[in-house]
Amino acid sequence: MEKIQNLFINGEWTKPSSEEYLDKYNPTTGELYGKFASASREDVDRSIDSAYDAQKKWERLTSVERSKYLYKLIDLISQDREYLTNILMDEVGKPRVEAEEEVDGVLDQLQYYAEFARKITGDVVEGTKPERIIYQYKVPYGVVLAITPWNFPAAMVARKIGPALISGNTVIIKPSSDTPFVAGWIVEKVRQAGFPPGTVNLITGKGSVIGDYMTSHKKISVITLTGETKTGVQIMKSSSSIMAKLILELGGKAPFIVWKDADLELAARVLMWAKYWNSGQSCIAAERLYVHEDVYDKFINLFIEKTKTLRIGDPRTNDMGPLINSGQLSKVSSFVESAVSEGAKIVFGGGKPQLPDKFSKGFFYMPTILTRVKQNMKIFREEIFGPVIGAMKVSDDFDEVIDLANDSDYGLASYLFTKDISLAMKASREIKFGELYINMPGPEASQGYHTGFRMSGQAGENSKYGVEEYVKVKNVYIDYSKDSTKGEVIPPYT
Ligand code: NAD
């Protein structure tokens, strides 16, 4: 039976006031997967009012009390993890092993943030006169609008609600219209965990109706977005009148550098993951391959041989599934066409794979490798977000390679394979990316700070720095002396 999902406002599943629903398609088969509520502005108002009212009480709980709700949520998700794994396979087209890994990620993130219950601390500093003191409290901002993407739809919800809730904020989750059901399932677990009404709300719908409206609503204090850079820019504009705190996790264009002394087998194995994980739809995906001229041919051949072994098809039984939707499929194929028209050469893949008829409407694209790519081609400048990689041969000048890597609007993840410690250290100082993986794969850990340079975003998530994005420092000045003459003020106000 077709799934139907409503909005979750003030602790209850509720129909949208418009009674309108939107369609979600299964990317593997192209068939209708379910219908989800299209919220109106009135629904948005109700959800934000409910989060705003609930926040006053939620903040009064101690963080240890708040963590008990998070631990309950962790228990409920763990008990039913196979269900979430299935939605991830159906809704995103993730292979089983990747869907399972994402569920692990959700639990790891929630656990990590719940443990912050006893770690959010402030400072006490002396005043400038005797018997005066200043308390610097970490206080919540208020209502957090958490806007999530479709590529890691469960992990991104966990990464946002965890720190927001433990620090005393309440949340409105606005998931991508490509993955409303993953978010809905997590919110149902929130309901079962008994969070107070209004603490977590779910709004789904059309960007044209609710996008700017939500992000310019005066009762929103923090907007945390994971999405495309252009969406981040749009939200900076729409939220400018409300002075909301912005946490923006945006696009990437990761350089993947293979130096002449690298362990090529290791580098090729990691590149398989860095390129084909989630069909290349990851913000930390390798997008620009720079290989030293001495090992270029050998490495490209090794990577082609490994790529040939990838099984593509139904994500339940294969290594790589489809792209998320038809728009993404056209975008990825247009990148390949443009690279070829600019002089690149396809050495593996290109186009749709041959699959059984039942997947003929699925959004599949072949893993694709291009050589003869140049730094200024579109395929090296813009985010592809698909199983396609371009390769460029580089000379023995390591400084030049660092310059090439840094020459990008994006600055999220980067990769380097070398056994030379001095080059590794040089790169760790000079690569201008939020993350550098040396001789190893990602993804980022809960205890690492995930942040982008340049157009990859601002602020960040995970680690203690990520939690601190959700609290403000409030200062309380106290004079505790008994001397009533001490309250002197600047003349003439004596
Ligand atoms: P997207 O920007 O299209 O959408 C992200 C979310 O923003 C969705 O919920 C969407 O409905 C919403 N949205 C879009 N326009 C809006 C507006 N004007 N106002 C309010 N909400 C709006 O991104 P996507 O296609 O879902 O995700 C892929 C992108 O996310 C890629 O660029 C990828 O690199 C990036 N990403 C970044 C990270 C990171 O940690 N930096 C992680 C995952 C994905």
**288-342 per-position pLDDT tens digit:** 999 999 999 999 999 999 999 999 999 999 999 999 999 999 999 999 999 999 9
Calpha distance 434→457 (Å, rounded): 10
Compute, in angstroms, the gap from residue 148 CA to the centroid of ligand 1.
Answer: 6
Q: Is the C-beta atom of 448 inside 6 A of ligand 1? A: no
Determine, yes or no, domain membership for 481: no
Query: What pLDDT does residue 90 have?
Result: 96
pLDDT tens-digit profile of 269-288?
999 999 999 999 999 999 99
Which among 55, 152, 14, 13 has a CA at the least distance from the CA of 160?
A: 152
456, 406 Cβ separation under 8 angstroms: no
Asked if residue 262 and residue 215 are part of one domain, the reply reads no
Q: What is the CATH number of the domain that holds 260?
A: 3.40.309.10
Query: What pLDDT does residue 488 have?
Result: 73
Asked if residue 118 and residue 244 are part of one domain, the reply reads yes
Helices (DSSP H) in 37-176: which residue ranges?
A: 41-60, 63-79, 81-92, 96-114, 153-166
Determine, yes or no, domain membership for 489: no
Q: Is the C-beta atom of 313 inside 6 A of ligand 1? A: no
Task: Name the residue at shortest CA distance from atom 17 of ligand 1.
Answer: 211
Asked if residue 104 and residue 69 are part of one domain, the reply reads yes
Determine, yes or no, domain membership for 492: no
Preceding peptide of 492 cis, ω within 30°: yes
12, 196 Cβ separation under 8 angstroms: no
Task: Name the residue at shortest CA distance from atom 19 of ligand 1.
Answer: 211
Asked if residue 262 and residue 242 are part of one domain, the reply reads no
For residue 200, pLDDT over 90 is answered with yes
Compute, in angstroms, the gap from residue 327 CA to the centroid of ligand 1.
Answer: 14
Looking at ligand 1, which atom is closest to the CA of residue 149? 26
Calpha distance 8→205 (Å, rounded): 12
Asked if residue 379 and residue 276 are part of one domain, the reply reads yes
Q: Is the C-beta atom of 168 inside 6 A of ligand 1? A: no
pLDDT tens-digit profile of 385-423?
999 999 999 999 999 999 999 999 999 999 999 999 999
- Give, for ligand 1, the residue of 147, 231, 330 to mutate: max count of ligand atoms closer than 8 Å to Cβ: 231
Determine, yes or no, domain membership for 211: yes
- Give, for ligand 1, the residue of 145, 147, 217, 247 to mutate: max count of ligand atoms closer than 8 Å to Cβ: 147
Over its C-alpha atoms, the chain yields an Rg (Å, rounded) of: 25
Asked if residue 231 and residue 182 are part of one domain, the reply reads yes
Calpha distance 313→93 (Å, rounded): 10
289, 307 Cβ separation under 8 angstroms: no
Determine, yes or no, domain membership for 445: no
Asked if residue 418 and residue 370 are part of one domain, the reply reads yes
Calpha distance 7→229 (Å, rounded): 27
pLDDT tens-digit profile of 233-273?
999 999 999 999 999 999 999 999 999 999 999 999 999 99
Lowest mean pLDDT among 30-34, 184-188, 479-483: 479-483
Determine, yes or no, domain membership for 103: yes
Asked if residue 259 and residue 185 are part of one domain, the reply reads no
The CB density around residue 448, as the number of other CB atoms within 10 Å, is 17
Calpha distance 332→350 (Å, rounded): 10
Q: What is the CATH number of the domain that holds 158?
A: 3.40.605.10
Active-site residue set? 249
Determine, yes or no, domain membership for 71: yes
- Give, for ligand 1, the residue of 22, 151, 216 to mutate: max count of ligand atoms closer than 8 Å to Cβ: 151
Asked if residue 259 and residue 385 are part of one domain, the reply reads yes
pLDDT tens-digit profile of 90-134?
999 999 999 999 999 999 999 999 999 999 999 999 999 899 999
CA distances from 232 to 136, 158, 214, 228, 363 (A): 31, 20, 14, 7, 26
Query: What pLDDT does residue 491 have?
Result: 77
Q: Is the C-beta atom of 283 inside 6 A of ligand 1? A: yes
Q: Is the C-beta atom of 239 inside 6 A of ligand 1? A: no
Q: Is the C-beta atom of 148 inside 6 A of ligand 1? A: yes
Q: Is the C-beta atom of 105 inside 6 A of ligand 1? A: no
Q: Is the C-beta atom of 28 inside 6 A of ligand 1? A: no
Compute, in angstroms, the gap from residue 226 CA to the centroid of ligand 1.
Answer: 5
Query: What pLDDT does residue 117 have?
Result: 97
Asked if residue 229 and residue 171 are part of one domain, the reply reads yes
Compute, in angstroms, the gap from residue 130 CA to the centroid of ligand 1.
Answer: 52
Residue 362 DSSP one-character state: S
Q: Report the domain count for the chain.
A: 2
For residue 212, pLDDT over 70 is answered with yes
Determine, yes or no, domain membership for 156: yes
The CB density around residue 101, as the number of other CB atoms within 10 Å, is 17
Calpha distance 478→224 (Å, rounded): 34
Q: Is the C-beta atom of 223 inside 6 A of ligand 1? A: no
* The pair of three-digit structure tokens given for residue 314, joined into one six-digit string: 């139904």
Q: Is the C-beta atom of 277 inside 6 A of ligand 1? A: no
In the chain, the amino acid numbered 130 is P
Which among 226, 184, 177, 211 has a CA at the least distance from the CA of 83?
A: 184
Q: Domain containing 298: what range? A: 254-438
Task: Name the residue at shortest CA distance from atom 9 of ligand 1.
Answer: 176
Asked if residue 41 and residue 190 are part of one domain, the reply reads yes
Task: Name the residue at shortest CA distance from atom 21 of ligand 1.
Answer: 211
Compute, in angstroms, the gap from residue 149 CA to the centroid of ligand 1.
Answer: 5
Asked if residue 34 and residue 98 are part of one domain, the reply reads yes
Q: Is the C-beta atom of 252 inside 6 A of ligand 1? A: yes
Range 468-494 average pLDDT: 86
Which among 177, 201, 206, 178 has a CA at the least distance from the CA of 190?
A: 201
For residue 367, pLDDT over 60 is answered with yes
Sheet with 413-417, edge to edge strand ranges:
345-348, 368-371, 388-394, 286-292, 254-258, 413-417, 435-438
Compute, in angstroms, the gap from residue 272 CA to the centroid of ligand 1.
Answer: 24
